[in-house]
Amino acid sequence: MSIKQLAMRLVYGHKASSEQYISWLRSQGVHVGQHVHLYTPWSIRIDTQRPWMIEIGDNVHITADCSILQHDYSWAVIQRLTGEVLGSCGTVRIGNNVFVGQKSLILKGAEIGDNTIIGAGSVVTGRLDGNAVYAGAPAKKISSLEAYIDKRRKLQLNEAVLLVREYEQTYGTRPPKKLLREFFWLFELGTLSWMRYSKRFSSLITIPNVHSKRLFKANLCLAAMRHSSNTLNQILNS
């Protein structure tokens, strides 16, 4: 264990890392699937008063400052007025391949279907069908997943080019590959040589498939970054 890891463990305990928090949740009785990741886990709160009532599927990504609650303590107000203790609890089930945006709140009774994206700051209170994108308080469907994928395909190239332009304007040079992060694959040449790639791109621009044109134009960007600044400038300015 490194000094940094030790310090994190001392400060955040079982929340020091995604792996440690997930291991602890499982030890408490929460069902957590495989390939789950908790981003900045020390900021995430998962209610373990009744751990058997929470189920998190496979390939789930939960981001910073999210909370998952399976109980409700609002009965304290009623108790003060009437003396009654009206307990409140419910299950929380998160399906497979789900992304939960930052500062979202998942309340008792929530059930999130497979292949679902939850926008930042959402409040999930009931059943959300899978293969869709939700946002808001309470969370409501804003798009099918298919439509969202199509939208992202159309926007991705423009955002990748914007990334390069802004970096160059700020630092006066092209961004290194590691800063391209999830955009890097757009710029990868793979096994194609620069000459072969140029010829392939030239032949593809006549194909009436807008998505293919965008992908190859984006791929050409990094090829140009590696091989020809003039060519890159032509692409970025087109």
Q: Which two tokens stand for residue 208?
A: 């009436």
Q: Is the pLDDT of residue 198 over 50?
A: no
Q: Is the pLDDT of residue 131 over 50?
A: yes
- CB–CB of 219/144 below 8 Å? no
**Per-residue pLDDT, 185:** 63
Q: Is the pLDDT of residue 164 over 90?
A: no
Q: Which two tokens stand for residue 173?
A: 């040079």
Mean pLDDT of 128-142: 97
Q: Is the pLDDT of residue 14 over 80?
A: yes
- CB–CB of 158/140 below 8 Å? no
Looking at 21-25, 29-33, 151-155, which range is the least confident one? 151-155
**Per-residue pLDDT, 163:** 85
Task: Round to whole Å and give the CA distance between 232 and 161.
Answer: 10
Looking at 5-14, 24-33, 74-83, which range is the least confident one? 5-14
**Per-residue pLDDT, 9:** 78
Residue 75, CA distances (Å) to 79, 80, 87, 229 in order: 6, 9, 6, 66
> Which DSSP string do the residues of the chain spell out, in sequence order?
--HHHHHHHHHHGGGSSHHHHHHHHHHHT-EE-SS-EESSGGG-EE--SSGGGEEE-SSEEE-TT-EE-SB--THHHHHHHH------B--EEE-SSEEE-TT-EE-TT-EE-SSEEE-TT-EE-SEE-SSEEEETTTTEEEEEHHHHHHHHHHHHHHHHHHHHHHHHHHHSSPPPHHHHGGGGGGG--TT--HHHHHHHHHHHTTSS-HHHHHHHHHHHHHHHHHH-HHHHHHHHT-
| pTM for this prediction | 0.76
Looking at 21-30, 135-144, 186-195, which range is the least confident one? 186-195
For the chain, which domains are there?
Answer: 3-138 (2.160.10.10), 148-236 (no CATH)
Q: Measured in Å, how far apart are the chain's first and last C-alpha atoms?
A: 50
**Per-residue pLDDT, 136:** 97
**Per-residue pLDDT, 109:** 96
Q: How confident is the model at residue 208 (pLDDT cuts 50, 70, 90)?
A: very low
Mean pLDDT of 96-103: 98
**Per-residue pLDDT, 232:** 41
Mean pLDDT of 158-180: 85
Sheet holding 92-94, edge to edge: 31-32, 54-56, 92-94, 111-112, 127-128
